[in-house]
Each structure stands twice: as C-alpha cells, then as structure tokens.
Amino acid sequence: MTTATSARPRRDRIAASLSALTLTVGALIAAAATPAHADDPHTYCGLKVVGAIEERYVQMGGPTGQLGCPLTEELANPDGVGRRTQFKNGTIYWHPRTGAWPVWGDIGARWCQEGCERGWLGYPTSAELRVGNEAHQNFRCGTIYWQAWPERGAMMTRLSENRCS
C-alpha cells in the first residue's frame, strides 16, 4: 500500500512535467512557424506590401478586395525605376511619374501583349474604369478599351494612341 501511495505523487509530477513540456514545445513550434514580420501592419497574407502600392491596395480593400492576397513582395521592374507587387487577381504597378495603379483581367492581358510597362503604352495612369459591359484603362501613351458581347460570348479590346509625354 505504501508503494502504490508513493507512486501516485510521482506519476502526477511526471504528468505535470510532460504537460509543461508539451506547452513549451507547442509555443516554440508556433513561434518558428510565424514569419518575423507577422505583427507588421504592412503584412497581408504573410507578405509585406509597402509605400504607394500598399496605399492603393488598401484603398481597393486589401486581401478581401478585388486583388486578393499578395503573391510577391515588391519587385523591381526591368526599367530599374518602376516597381510592382503581384496579387492573386492582378498586379499593382508604380512609377514616380504615374503613381500606383492596378492592372488585371483582359485589359491587363492586352497590355502585356503590347509589352506591359516596357511596351509603347507605358505605365498605367488610372484604374480600370467600368460602365456596364464596357471598360477602359489609361496608360502613359494610350488607352485600352474593352467591351463584352454576352450575346456572342466574346469580348473585344481596342487601343487608342495618345501623345506620349
């Protein structure tokens, strides 16, 4: 009887030690899995978005807006001046002369057919403006117009060249 009685406190101490160890290990695993900038106010879906690109992203609703979560942090554009951040549903481009503007969908696809920011249209200078089944977006040297034709199951884009300044 003495052996059974003295074994119980020992088992209780072991159980308490194992519980404390489990909590400590759990906390260490959680800390290791959390990115260093998780508490950073500029972090969305685990990635940092900063500057004018972040301002535009927040104006558009952040992760729950049209663009969704970021897929990259800020990237340098091939011209060495502009920047971009890619999101699930589009990209925000920034240039010191034009500001930060989103590009996505069919207009974004057509813009990239023309060379994206390195093409003759240059950087975006506005967001996509949509009215009914038509939309357009302005770029430094032109405009892309888009129109849906639901009855034909198609869409059309056309370009308008502006004087490039």
- Report pLDDT digits (tens) over 10-34: 555 554 554 444 444 344 443 443 4
Residue 25 lies in a domain: no
Across 146-165, average pLDDT: 73
Mean pLDDT over 93-102 rounds to 97
- Residue 69 within a domain: yes
For residue 22, being part of any structural domain is answered with no
- What's residue 27's pLDDT? 41
Given a contact cutoff of 8 angstroms between Cβ atoms, the answer to whether 139 and 123 are in contact is yes
Q: How would residue 155 be classed by pLDDT, with cut points 50, 70 and 90? A: low
Q: Is residue 28 part of a domain?
A: no
- The closest of 113, 105, 116, 114 to 146, measured between CA atoms, is 105
Please report whether residue 75 resides in a domain.
yes
**What is the Cα–Cα distance from 35 to 46, expressed in whole angstroms?**
7
Cα diameter, the chain: 99
* Residue 118: both structure tokens together: 């390195």
pLDDT of residue 55 exceeding 50: yes
Q: Is residue 89 part of a domain?
A: yes
Q: Does residue 51 carry a pLDDT above 70?
A: yes
Q: Does 118 map to a domain? A: yes
With respect to residue 20, please indicate whether it lies within any of the assigned structural domains: no
| Tokens coding 31 | 């800390």
Give 93 or 106, the one with higher predicted confidence. 93
Closest CA to 106 of 159, 55, 52, 64: 159
Mean pLDDT over each residue of the chain, to the nearest integer: 81
* Domain range for 68: 43-161
Instruction: Give the total number of structural domains in the chain.
Output: 1
